[in-house]
Structure 1
Amino acid sequence: MSTNALYTDLSGYYDLMCADIDYQAQSNSVRRLHQIFGSTGKDHLDLACGTGPHVRHFIDFGYNSSGLDINQPMLDMARLRCPEAQFTLQDMCAFKVDEPVDLITCFLYSIHYSGAIDRLKACIASVHKALKVDGVFCFNAVDKHKIDNNSFARHIVEHDGSQFTFSSGWNYCGHGDKQSLRLSIEKTTLDVKQSWEDEHPMVAVDFAELQELLQPYFEVHVFEHDYEKIVPWDKVSGNGIFVCVKI
């Protein structure tokens, strides 16, 4: 099964897949970062918005939020969750906005879905063009040199008479600009077990390379991947939150 087919066919299970994510804490942390580094403007766009949970929180914070994604079933679910928001079917590496915004976010390491360095560059350029002066671009990323191919995140969810086991982990071969996200989904209903496995192609960068790509467009700040407190990146950990102010 292709990557896009899996993503589409399992759209109804996406929220279960992400059931252990604290969307409120993530959204609130980025709101605080925007208050520190950005303007008082409230126009917000979420890239790769999925089913819209982050958009929901930003609306509740008082933002005029919108979202884009390449997956129509996801957007259909996002519209149900956030009927007051505008959602568009667009590629985050080549998107346009009607009017510039104050804040652009990209959560859940989705910046890596750019897939290749040239497309990542195009994404960064599109974001810069879509932001107002002093606008903020905030996203999280993983450093390719810090990936442990043997490390997997795993959680179990009970839903509608079935048990779902989700696991995911990064994989990097050790060279080049390609990495992947390996996914495994197992569904058990009345002792009948079904399973899906897939590997999503991702762009691989280290943090020095990523900062180099961003710096022609932004003033770049990197923080530890901690949504409870704001701590500068220690230059050792492999996960970070990037806060980029348009210049």
Structure 2
Amino acid sequence: MSANALYTDLSGYYDLMCVDIDYQAQSHCIRRLHQLFGNKGNTHLDLACGTGPHVRHFIDYGYQSSGLDINQPMLDIAATRCPEAQFTLQNMSDFNITSQVDLITCFLYSIHYSDGIEKLKDCIASVHSALSDQGMFCFNVVDKDKINNDLFVRHSAQHDGSHFTFHSGWHYCGHGEKQSLKLSIEKSTADETHRWHDEHPMVAVTIKQLKEILKPYFEVHVFEHDYEKIIPWDNNSGNALFACVKI
């Protein structure tokens, strides 16, 4: 399968695959960070927005929200979920918008979809250009040096008479700027079982390295990866939440 085959061909299952994600808690946390550190504006862009669940929450909070993604089937679902929003088919490493916004988000570790460090730098530069004065960029990351290749997340769900089992996990070979996200779906009905496997190439970076990349563009705040509490990063955790204010 191609690098995006699972997301493109099985986009109808994406929300089912992410059923355990608390989109409201994530959106509310970023809204709080924006109120604390941002410019108090209400325009928002979600990078790698997928089917638009985060955009839906930001609209409900009173934001003028929009999204972009590289998969049109995802955007079609997002447009149905959020008819008030504008969605565009763009790559987050090199995107353009007509007017600057006050808040840009990138949830679910999607910042790692940048293909290598240079593309990650391109994404950060594009975000900086797209933000208004004192605008804020929020996203979450995993530190390449903290990845446990044996650790997988698994959950199951019932849908339309079928039983689904989803697996996902990070893999890093221990050197270089490439890591991967391994995904699989198993769909079982009374008569047969189908399985899909995919491996998405992603950029590998440490949290400290990323802070240095961001410094020329932003005032950088790093927090523990906890959407219930706003706690400064302990300089040791393998996951972190970034809130970056444009300078």
Deviations 1:85-104 (A, max 9, x none): 00000000000111110000
Given that residues 154 and 165 in structure 2 are in contact (C-alpha distance below 8 angstroms), is that contact kept between their aligned partners in structure 1? yes
Q: Distance in 2 between matches of 1:162 and 1:191?
A: 10
- Counterpart of 1:4 in structure 2 is 4
SS in 2 for 1:3: coil
Q: Distance in 1 between matches of 2:76 and 2:4?
A: 16
Displacement of 1:5 in angstroms is 2.2
Given that residues 166 and 184 in structure 2 are in contact (C-alpha distance below 8 angstroms), is that contact kept between their aligned partners in structure 1? yes
- Counterpart of 1:112 in structure 2 is 112
Given that residues 116 and 178 in structure 2 are in contact (C-alpha distance below 8 angstroms), is that contact kept between their aligned partners in structure 1? yes
Tell me which amino acid in the other structure corresponds to 2:70.
Answer: I
Q: Distance in 1 between matches of 2:195 and 2:128?
A: 41
Q: TM-score, normalised by structure 1?
A: 0.99
- Counterpart of 2:174 in structure 1 is 174
Displacement of 1:6 in angstroms is 2.1
Tell me which amino acid in the other structure corresponds to 2:29.
Answer: S
- Counterpart of 1:141 in structure 2 is 141
- Asked if 1:103 corresponds to 2:103, the answer is yes
Deviations 1:198-228 (A, max 9, x none): 1100000001110111000000010000000
- Counterpart of 2:20 in structure 1 is 20
Q: Distance in 2 between matches of 1:163 and 1:4?
A: 23
Displacement of 1:192 in angstroms is 1.5
Alignment of 1:1-247 (within 5 A): 1-247=1-247
Displaced runs of 4+ in structure 1, greater than 4 A? none
Tell me which amino acid in the other structure corresponds to 2:64.
Answer: N
Given that residues 166 and 185 in structure 2 are in contact (C-alpha distance below 8 angstroms), is that contact kept between their aligned partners in structure 1? yes
SS in 2 for 1:94: coil
Tell me which amino acid in the other structure corresponds to 2:190.
Answer: L
SS in 2 for 1:125: helix
Aligned length: 247
SS in 2 for 1:92: coil
Deviations 1:100-131 (A, max 9, x none): 10000000000000021110000000000000
Given that residues 5 and 198 in structure 2 are in contact (C-alpha distance below 8 angstroms), is that contact kept between their aligned partners in structure 1? no
Displacement of 1:15 in angstroms is 0.3
Deviations 1:128-171 (A, max 9, x none): 00001100000000000000000000100100000000010000
SS in 1 for 2:4: helix
Given that residues 71 and 89 in structure 2 are in contact (C-alpha distance below 8 angstroms), is that contact kept between their aligned partners in structure 1? yes
Q: Distance in 2 between matches of 1:122 and 1:206?
A: 17
Deviations 1:4-59 (A, max 9, x none): 22221100000001000000000000000000000111000000000000000000
Q: Among the aligned pairs, what percent are the same residue?
A: 73
Q: Distance in 2 between matches of 1:215 and 1:164?
A: 43
After superposition, the CA RMSD in angstroms is: 0.6
Q: Distance in 1 between matches of 2:238 and 2:191?
A: 39
Question: Structure 2: any 5+ residue segments left out of the alignment?
Answer: none
Q: Distance in 1 between matches of 2:176 and 2:187?
A: 35
Q: Distance in 2 between matches of 1:133 and 1:239?
A: 28
Tell me which amino acid in the other structure corresponds to 1:157.
Answer: A
Question: Structure 1: any 5+ residue segments left out of the alignment?
Answer: none
Q: TM-score, normalised by structure 2?
A: 0.99
Displacement of 1:191 in angstroms is 4.6
Q: Distance in 2 between matches of 1:207 and 1:3?
A: 25
